[in-house]
Structure 1
Amino acid sequence: MPQLQHLSAASDPERLAQALRDDGAAIVEDVLDAAALERLKSEIMPYVEATEPGRDDFTGRKTTRTGALVARSEACRDLVMDDLILGGANAFLKPFCERVQLHLTQLIRIQPGQVKQPLHRDRLAWGGFLQDSIEPQFNTIWAVTDFTQENGATQVVPCSNNWEAGREAKPDEIQYAEMKAGSVLVYSGSVIHSGGANEADHDRMGLNITYALGWLRQEENQYLSCPPHIAKDFDPALRDLLGYCMGSYALGYYTPPTGPGESPEVVPPEFLFSGKVTDWSDGDDLYESVSRRSSETV
């Protein structure tokens, strides 16, 4: 029976990407130390404690899901930009896009008494319209508390990313992503998984940070969760991940809603922060990339 791979935090991003290609999921151990975890919790727990539980069986009637974490937490912003994780996301997704974008940030707290979430694939957020050959997501769950089978560790079905449509997981094919706080479960949009049942007397908390192809609609609307007046102070690379950049040569430009002749008619999103038309500087590279992909598929 396939087993979840366990990788070191010193692993190469390509090795992490390959683990997902092969098995659909892997655990990276000991990425965050105790001090980093405490910093993260100090920033997000007031929001977590104020979050109401889910209203249906899928989101979890004893589960809370707290979002907008890029806007709310500096520590979360650091995790989004983590070299290994972001490097792995780029290595895994770049065959299908010019740019990767942030898809979701969410602190998932599974409380005592929560039953197992239905098994599913996250790629179905797009309704099953994507071709199976296209992998749309690179997902992470950072263990903010220890993950055990008793307290609701994520259920994962290794290698189910390669299964034919309609095949259902048998009980002996399901594994639990048991890991210490500070470790990270990384999994693809095509692997079968779900939240586990919490039969313990304490909460299980995991930080779900997800990346997707830059030409897809994001699950969490980053432009509303982290609007320009907040994003303006971020590192440009983080703003790009949020979606404040061109997703491809002709995806994401806008026309400033100003009076006649008061601004350029068509500008990239970065113009919002710099006011410089020179933000088109990478347009040639994007055009060449799109042209190359087009010629390869003719």
Structure 2
Amino acid sequence: MLNRLPNTATIDEVSASLKEHGYVIIDELVSADVMDEVAAQMAPHIESTPFGEDKFIGFKTQRTGSMILRSERSRDLIMHPLITGVAGKHLSQASTFQLHLTQVITVHPGSPAQVLHQDQLAWDFFDFPDSYEVQCNTLWAMTDYTAENGATRIVPDSQYAGRGQKFPPEAGVAAEMKKGSVLLYTGKIYHGAGENKTDQVRQAINITYAVGWVRQEENQYLSTPPEVARTLPDDLLKLMGYQCGCFAMGYVRDFEDPLAYLKGTTERRSAGFNALSSTANQTSAEYATAFV
């Protein structure tokens, strides 16, 4: 039995479960209709997406990004209050957190199982301490997730196994869940796509968050052109990276705030220690206030 909670679970309950197990499934957090709407908006882009060019990405798997631009409905998933609340708590050791990537993963029939791995290897295989969480990931089920159609496999209790471990395929347990459910998992837990033994595609929306001081996997500034970005809400823009990740990380020109620069406002917003006073990280905010 995998770790799972109902869709009535609170931010604190989900956060505690994620911290203890390294992953948690929230059953049917949104309706199947929401998944269908995102699927319809992304369909023409998925159709033109090439398959992966190596075994890890998947020779029979498509990964279609730029979801903020291509699917307005997906923005509700990116900004879902339960998910962003959990991400904020999980990544609270950093001054801010940001969007790391958005993509639809389409696993086609006959696709073999992916090697079991940690997602935080994306940062050049850096050996993050066990005590530091750099990443909070989600996989939203666009189709039912079953063992037969390649549901993501989780290796229970692997979050402290360390970097570069080689788990056999049978160590992974299929994260079966209904359409509209979401799997949250840390950057440390070992996991991988399962083998799709059916004649149907298995699809998921992969939305990932990371601490504000690391480089994003998906370049949000190019994926969503400035003329579109200027029409988006400030909270979403900050999550995309239009804020300083911490002191002096990400300012524009003459120490200007990136959101103010994007919007072309004349009001000067500090990109320094003052900017940290409104972050989710209380320790950083207190230090910044005292320093100033």
* Structure-1-length-normalised TM-score: 0.89
What's 1:219 paired with? 217
What's 1:69 paired with? 67
| Counterpart code for 1:270 | L
What's 1:258 paired with? none
Asked if 1 retains the 8 angstrom alpha-carbon contact of 2:116 and 2:172, the reply is no
Count of aligned positions: 282
Asked if 1 retains the 8 angstrom alpha-carbon contact of 2:60 and 2:107, the reply is yes
Asked if 1 retains the 8 angstrom alpha-carbon contact of 2:114 and 2:194, the reply is yes
| Counterpart code for 1:88 | V
1:284 aligns with 2:282: no
What's 2:133 paired with? 135
Q: How does 1:108-187 map to 2 (within 5 A)?
A: 108-132=105-129, 133-165=131-163, 167-170=165-168, 173-187=171-185
Closer, same or farther: CA 162–130 of 1 in aligned 2, 3 Å: closer
Asked if 2 retains the 8 angstrom alpha-carbon contact of 1:62 and 1:110, the reply is yes
The SS at the match of 2:112 is coil
Offset of 1:131 from its aligned partner?
2.6
Asked if 2 retains the 8 angstrom alpha-carbon contact of 1:4 and 1:25, the reply is no
| 223-232 vs 80-89, greater mean Cα deviation | 223-232
What's 2:200 paired with? 202
RMSD: 2.0
| 122-131 vs 78-87, greater mean Cα deviation | 122-131
What's 1:261 paired with? none
Q: Distance between the aligned counterparts of 1:58 and 1:106, measured in 2?
A: 16
Larger radius of gyration: 1
What's 2:23 paired with? 25
| Counterpart code for 1:268 | D
The SS at the match of 2:101 is strand
The SS at the match of 2:44 is helix
| Counterpart code for 1:266 | F
1:269 aligns with 2:248: no
Asked if 1 retains the 8 angstrom alpha-carbon contact of 2:251 and 2:271, the reply is no
Q: Render the CA deviation track for 1:96-136: whole Å, top value 9, x for unaligned.
A: x1111000001000000100111110011112324323211
The SS at the match of 1:78 is helix
Runs of 4 or more consecutive aligned structure 1 residues displaced over 4 Å after TM superposition: 164-167, 291-294
Q: Render the CA deviation track for 1:138-183: whole Å, top value 9, x for unaligned.
A: 0000000001111000011121002245544355532101111000
Closer, same or farther: CA 12–291 of 1 in aligned 2, 3 Å: closer
The gaps in structure 2 that reach 5 residues or longer are none
Q: Distance between the aligned counterparts of 1:115 and 1:293, measured in 2?
A: 49
Match of 2:231 among 210, 230, 233: 233
Asked if 2 retains the 8 angstrom alpha-carbon contact of 1:267 and 1:277, the reply is no
What's 2:244 paired with? 246
| 158-167 vs 6-15, greater mean Cα deviation | 158-167
Q: Distance between the aligned counterparts of 1:218 and 1:176, measured in 2?
A: 28
| Counterpart code for 2:26 | V
Closer, same or farther: CA 253–282 of 1 in aligned 2, 3 Å: closer
Q: Distance between the aligned counterparts of 1:242 and 1:285, measured in 2?
A: 17
Offset of 1:227 from its aligned partner?
2.5
Match of 1:42 among 40, 48, 52: 40
Identity %: 40
